[in-house]
Amino acid sequence: MSKPLSTQSVHAGEEKRKPYGALTTPVAQSSTFTFRDTVEILEYMQDKANGKKPLRDEYGRFSNPTERAAEGKIAALEGGECALLFASGMSAITTTLLTLLESGDHLIMPREGFYITRDFARALLSRWGIETTLVPINQPEALLSAIRPETRLFFADIPTNPYLRMLDLAQLVKIARQHNITTIIDSTFATPVNLRPLEYGIDLVIQSATKYLGGHNDLLAGAVIGSTQALADIEKVRGIMGGVSNPHDAYLLLRGIKTLELRVQRQNETGLRVAAFLETHPAVSRVYYPGLSSHPDYSITKAQLSGYGGVVSFEIDGDFEKTARFIDLLRLPYIGLTLGGVESIIHQPAAHYSLEPVERKAAGIMDNLVRYSLGIENADDILEDLDQALAKIS
Ligand SMILES: Cc1ncc(COP(=O)(O)O)c(C=O)c1O
């Protein structure tokens, strides 16, 4: 039985006795790691050839001690054997997909989800002869009918960005195993506090550590978590592609993760209160939040998530301009693109698209949609602020 998450967040991955007797893991700000003599190099190479994970580093593009500590912590939180850290969530995703897929393979993804991953699959993987089929989320019949003999991989991010849809993971694993398909879940929105996909038999978990894991809007990082065997090839490709993290961000990540459970619990509580408030407000036409019984996947979210998260998406009863006015009237959140940090941050997805309104609609981005990533501020302050802005547009 592993230790509770709060204890793991503080201690896992880090040596009790650190260099210089330091309490915190030092930032090993070095591009390379030197050897005493040739004998030490040969021993190191022999260990690697025998498949032993070396306890030291060779060159910064392959690994770094600060990064290894962060990897150990993230692996422990997700309940995985091993984790690999990357320069960003997208670097983790692209390196993993490029490692596991080859020309002629077929990938399945839900239609819902983070659009940049979908763009990568459709615009870039296709260049190497890898086809992608998009299926409606959480419809086993649609998934079954998309499967072909050459289907190798299923990839989804849940709860999805921005509509917070969910998948029945047990059902997905059952289908995937019957057809020898590797499953990857990008669990960035859930975090290991609310969901641990490996416990359902998912093969690999991805985190954009830029979001909740880092938690302070001051770093970019990504991680892939799974068995040592599953990650061995991905690690080799990371060393080739060079999308490794850096010691300073790895340090910030180690520090951020220590408060992960506290932050996410607060964000879960605020999320529920804000979603319930918005759902009854006449100036709001629709709320998307996994903790509301009106959510289309509520029975799954209730069974699988231990908290519903800090992102609430909703539609203002009005057009693009009215929605923009509402956002500009808010005093508390920053306006910007990220999520998961201590500062509340809000955005109107339609404002970030250069597409024409009809094209935006076809892409599922409604003009009146708002995505609010709640920070750790006092929930009453967040509600009061929403109330004053909604009153002014009512
Ligand atoms: C679900 C999800 N996965 C991956 C990413 C990409 O992460 P990064 O910005 O760290 O590359 C994002 C970014 O918003 C995301 O929302």
Q: Is 203 in the pocket of ligand 1 (CB under 6 A)?
A: no
Is 101 found in the same domain as 196? yes
Q: Is 89 in the pocket of ligand 1 (CB under 6 A)?
A: yes
Structural domain boundaries, residue 277: 260-393
- The answer to whether residues 217 and 241 belong to one domain is yes
Question: Residue 297: CB within 6 Å of ligand 1?
Answer: no
Atom nearest to 210 CA in ligand 1: 10
Cα 113 to ligand 1 centre (Å): 10
**161 Cβ inside 6 Å of ligand 1:** yes
The answer on 246 and 97 residing in a single domain is: yes
Q: Is the residue at 54 inside a domain?
A: no
Residue 327 lies in a domain: yes
Note whether 244 and 123 are same-domain residues: yes
**Chain segment 345-366, per-residue pLDDT in tens:** 999 999 887 666 666 777 778 8
CATH code at 265? 3.90.1150.10
pTM attached to this predicted model: 0.96
In angstroms, what is the span from residue 188 Cα to ligand 1's centroid? Answer: 7
End position of a domain, from candidates 208, 224, 257: 257
For 302-352, the pLDDT digits (tens) are 999 999 999 999 999 999 999 999 999 999 999 999 999 999 999 999 988
Please indicate, yes or no, whether residues 244 and 353 belong to a single structural domain of this protein: no
Query: What is the residue type of 228?
Result: T
Question: Is the confidence at residue 1, as pLDDT, over 60?
Answer: no
Count of structural domains within the chain: 2
Summarised one tens digit per residue, pLDDT across range 91-133 is 999 999 999 999 999 999 999 889 899 999 999 999 999 999 9
Beta bridge partner(s), residue 371: 313, 347
| End-of-domain residue from the set 257, 285, 318 | 257
Whole-number Å distance, alpha carbon 208 to ligand 1 midpoint, is 5
Which residues are CB-contacts of 69 (< 8 A; sequence separation ≥ 6)? 13, 14, 15, 25, 250, 254
Which residue out of 114, 205, 339 has the highest number of ligand 1 atoms within 8 Å of its CB and is therefore the one to mutate? 114
Of 232, 257, 282, the residue at which a domain comes to its end is 257
pLDDT number for residue 355: 62
* Residues in CB range of 27: below 8 A, 6 or more apart: 66, 247, 248, 250, 251
**Do 287 and 219 share a structural domain?**
no
What is the DSSP secondary-structure string of 267-318?
HHHHHHHHHHHHHT-TTEEEEE-TTSTTSTTHHHHHHH-SS--SEEEEEESS
